[in-house]
Structure 1
Amino acid sequence: MSPRHARVLLVSFGAAALVDLVSLAAGFTPGHLVAKPLLMPLLAAHTVARGGPRLLVAALLCGWGGDVLLLSDADPAFLAGMASFAAGHVCYLLLFRGAVPFRPAARARGTLLAVGYAVALTATVALLTPGLPAGLRIPVAGYSLLLTAMAYGATGLGPLAAAGGALFMLSDTLIATGVADWPQLPRPDFWIMSTYAAAQFSLVSGVLGTLGARRAPRAAYGEMRSTTP
């Protein structure tokens, strides 16, 4: 696809996100039911048009599966949706492992980030677990571990991807506080979806930007080789 198609798909994603958020803010449920399932397919199509990696597309499609499943309030649908998002996090982790080179100079910063994310994981699980239904405590703890690992892995791709991982953690924590019957902000679904849409967009932009920056020197080197007598 051409860059123009990629831009059209990204604008369409932004329009669908805007419709979804306005619908949630206004309490217009039909708008949310129509717009939410469009978000990840549009972002995945944009990724394909940009020549993004398959694992990134797979992560987004897993997110789409979770989005659709979480439209239902039934417990089995919630567990299935969590499993779908977990599969997406596995895709992200595999992508980060393959895309991020080992940088010894970043050891100290990486250690501090790892400690920070470990503390956030421990505190979140400890605080939320007592309020969760018994059947969700172990699945939520396991999912939280995977989510935190993904967010930490995203820090290796730069600030934009790191922000995406952190926003994903925030969005899912807001969902968990609702399940645990914590006091909620007005229109809680608005805050969940706004942080979620921003998270996925930031992760996609961070991955594509990092890969593009690495392809540019290789392309320039190839051009130099091709013009060398």
Structure 2
Amino acid sequence: MPALKFPRALYLAAAAGSVIAAAVPSDRATRLVKPALMPLLLASNPQKSALLVAGLAGGWVGDIILMGKDSRSADPGVRARNLKRGSAAFLVNQLAYHALLLRSGARPTWKNAALRAPMILGGVGLAAMKNPAALPAAGGYGSALALTSILAQDSSSKAALGGNLFVLSDALILGRLTLLKEGSRIDALTDAAVMATYTAAQFLLVDGVTNSTQSRPKPRF
């Protein structure tokens, strides 16, 4: 069953708006556009399983947290604590993707895990050196996100690309937090790259996971 075209177009428009708002940057535009992303993504897909609803609800809560005033604090420690709260919400998002991918027949492999290990270890090392308050997000949530990418690699090509873009998006978030000055021009452009990769990742994962779930037989477990 094809995705609903109008909500999909609205999602893509909101995604583009969120990228522009981050690049400007405009907190007012971000507060207007970003909360609409996950509801529009859910509306664009006809397969509204309980897992998908729960996962995108977690993503929506994470979006709300990460666009709060603490995300723009000049204090890296405050921003790290805000990231930790947002990561807790996004963990629900990743756990839902894990369940959907496993249900569709995707399985982790040592090769796919090994390819992603350097990025996770690098993120943990960067957080440990530059902002230890970000370690729970880098290590805990980062591992869950890596598992999404690992499983997605064994699913459809859309899901695989989405999983990889999600990892890249969160690597950019960690890079902003630990290496860039809040409010600088490069910080705003990196934030725009975060939103571009994040919105594309969610779009591709939802499309890839739901289509794969429909087309592949469920494993017997």
Q: Check conservation: 1:52, 1:208, Cα contact below 8 A.
A: no
Normalised TM-score (structure 2): 0.82
Q: Check conservation: 2:180, 2:187, Cα contact below 8 A.
A: no
Number of residue pairs the alignment of both structures matches: 204
Is 1:59 the counterpart of 2:22 in the alignment? Answer: no
Q: Check conservation: 2:8, 2:44, Cα contact below 8 A.
A: yes
Q: Which residue of 2 aligns with 1:227?
A: none
Return the alpha-carbon distance in structure 1 between the equivalents of residues 133 and 23 of structure 2: 31
The 5 A counterparts of 1:1-229 are 6-47=4-45, 50-74=46-70, 75=78, 76-100=81-105, 110-132=109-131, 134-182=132-180, 184=186, 187-214=189-216
Q: Check conservation: 1:16, 1:36, Cα contact below 8 A.
A: yes
> CA shift at 1:112, angstroms?
1.9
Return the alpha-carbon distance in structure 2 between the equivalents of residues 198 and 138 of structure 1: 25
Q: Check conservation: 1:40, 1:63, Cα contact below 8 A.
A: yes
> CA shift at 1:44, angstroms?
1.3
Amino acid at match of 2:51: L
Structure 1's unaligned 5+ residue stretches are 216-229
How large is the Cα RMSD of the aligned pairs? 2.3
> CA shift at 1:120, angstroms?
2.5
> CA shift at 1:182, angstroms?
4.2
> Bigger relative contact order, structure 1 or 2, given CA contacts below 8 A and separation 6+?
2
User: What is the CA deviation profile of residues 134-192 of structure 1, one whole-angstrom value per residue up to 9, with x for unaligned ones?
Assistant: 33323431111111111111112121101111111111111111111347565221101
Structure 2's unaligned 5+ residue stretches are 71-77
- Runs of 4+ more than 4 Å apart: 182-186
> CA shift at 1:131, angstroms?
0.7
Q: Check conservation: 1:147, 1:169, Cα contact below 8 A.
A: yes
- CA change 1:212–1:98 in 2 (3 A) is closer
Q: Check conservation: 2:24, 2:188, Cα contact below 8 A.
A: no
Q: Check conservation: 1:171, 1:195, Cα contact below 8 A.
A: yes
Amino acid at match of 1:179: L
Q: Check conservation: 1:67, 1:81, Cα contact below 8 A.
A: yes
User: What is the CA deviation profile of residues 36-92 of structure 1, one whole-angstrom value per residue up to 9, with x for unaligned ones?
Assistant: 110011101223xx1243212221111110000111242354322110001211111
More helix by share: 1
User: What is the CA deviation profile of residues 84-108 of structure 1, one whole-angstrom value per residue up to 9, with x for unaligned ones?
Assistant: 0012111111221222156xxxx9x
